[in-house]
Structure 1
Amino acid sequence: MFPFSKDDRSLLCRQDGFVLSKCEDPQPIIHIGGNEYRLMYLNHSTSTMSIVRNDLWEQSCLPNPINITINDSFLTYPPTNRHLTLFYNCSNVPQRPIIFPCSPELLSFYADDLSERDTYRDFSNSCGTNIQVQVNQSSFDELQNERNEYMLEEWRFGFNVVYDFPSIFCERCDNLVEKCSNLVNSPRYPVCKSGMLTFL
């Protein structure tokens, strides 16, 4: 269903940031900005999807952890997302940290960088590296309630992004006016005429 498509579809039917692969898997891969994410949940009525970084899928210990930010004009983060900071290979850790083992000699842990940013800022100097990841509110609550290191061993905590369906559809209409009827053939979806958004 537009704007989502498989990677074997023609260019006419493909929208950057919404191309899917491994669709036979329960959580297919969606390609956004040159990075891969697992698509965990999709709600067409609210134009919201829950995704997880594919490199963090089933593991939290990365050989070369890096920050990844989604820079797509059609995608936004909702305010309900929370931020976690994952600190790797640390020689010093705070009191009551949620530790996950990545190295036999050094420790790694995560922290909520919204409520405890000042507390944990000092620890970045004693760690090999750190990255920030987003989780949705329900996943964040689960982490805080359980406070269990084993929950990070099989990373399943997605974050939400909202896609602007009218803008996506209107841009496609502006570029391919004569092809609009081929993109979406349902009265549920908006139709663009002369730069204005109307609904059938």
Structure 2
Amino acid sequence: MLKPSPLFLIFFIFYFFSFPSYHAQYTQCKLPFDCGALKNVTYPFWGGTNRPQECGRLGFELFNCQEEDQLPRIKIEELDFHVSNINSQERLHTMTIARSDLWDSPCTHLLVNTTLDYTRFSYVQTVRNLTLYYGCLPQNASVHNNFTCKNDGTGIRDIAYYVDDSLSMVDLLNQTSCFTKIRVPIFWEGFDAMSENATEAGEKVLRRGFQVEYSAE
């Protein structure tokens, strides 16, 4: 009677002990998971204690999954975003996100434009840009969409503006002395709600965020 070779025994032992754990992980990866206030999240997202990295793709890690009453967050191109919705049921996979540094107030210290990792995400057609001008001189009373931000260096509240890229106010503000500006995507209809109270309406628009498409493959 032939004795089994040592190589066969090693393979058999490895297969016997590794198959159950691999099967359990594969089964776990197929199941939807909850992350914060979002329920039934699926591939390619991962994060928290219930969904290891092996179950998702690079660039789709969700943070803050343990807080059931809080929105999860995702990091894209060095910026942190709140994730308020993930739609993976239709042919077009979309995600609604909003910059975390603008979530509570438009007065951010991260004075950088919003950019995406275009290998994983793309804007949908319902998105357009909102430009925020900071540190402006109070010489353009005709620009109504203004708010103020406290200057940490002087304690004085500097004037700032919300401007939609399609409006002529862009040209007006380009001729004004402003310290800097950033561009933030918003939903197409969002700026129309900012006609009366610029500060309150602007905060709502920024918190509502914008929608991006992602690939689930």
Same fold (TM over 0.5): yes
- Map of 1:118 onto structure 2: 171
- The aligned residue for residue 26 of structure 1 is 70
Match of residue 131 from structure 1: 182
What's the TM-score once normalised by structure 1's chain length?
0.72
Gaps of 5+ in 1: 170-200
What is the CA distance between 1:105 and its match in structure 2? 4.8
Distance 1:56 1:129 in 2: 16
SS at match of 1:118: helix
Partner of residue 151, structure 1: 201
Q: How does 1:9-158 map to 2 (within 5 A)?
A: 9-23=51-65, 24=67, 25-44=69-88, 45=90, 46-91=92-137, 92-93=139-140, 95-103=142-150, 104-116=156-168, 117-123=170-176, 126-144=177-195, 146-153=196-203, 155-158=206-209
Point out where structure 2 has 5 or more consecutive residues left out of the alignment: 1-41, 151-155
Residue 212 of structure 2 aligns to which amino acid in structure 1?
V
Structure 1 residue 131 displacement after superposition? 0.5
Larger Rg, first or second structure (1 or 2): 2
User: Normalised by the size of structure 2, how large is the TM-score?
Assistant: 0.67
Equivalent AA in structure 2 for residue 2 of structure 1: Y
| 2-structure distance, mates of 1:48, 1:158 | 13
Identity of aligned residues (%): 32
Corresponding residue for 2:46? 5
Q: Residue by residue, what CA displacement relative to the aligned partner does 1:18-62 show, whole Å, maximum 9, x if unpaired?
A: 111112243210122332100012221231111001111111112
In 2: Cα distance, 1:95 partner to 1:160 partner: 31
- Cα shift at 1:63: 2.8
Q: Aligned residue pairs: how many?
A: 163
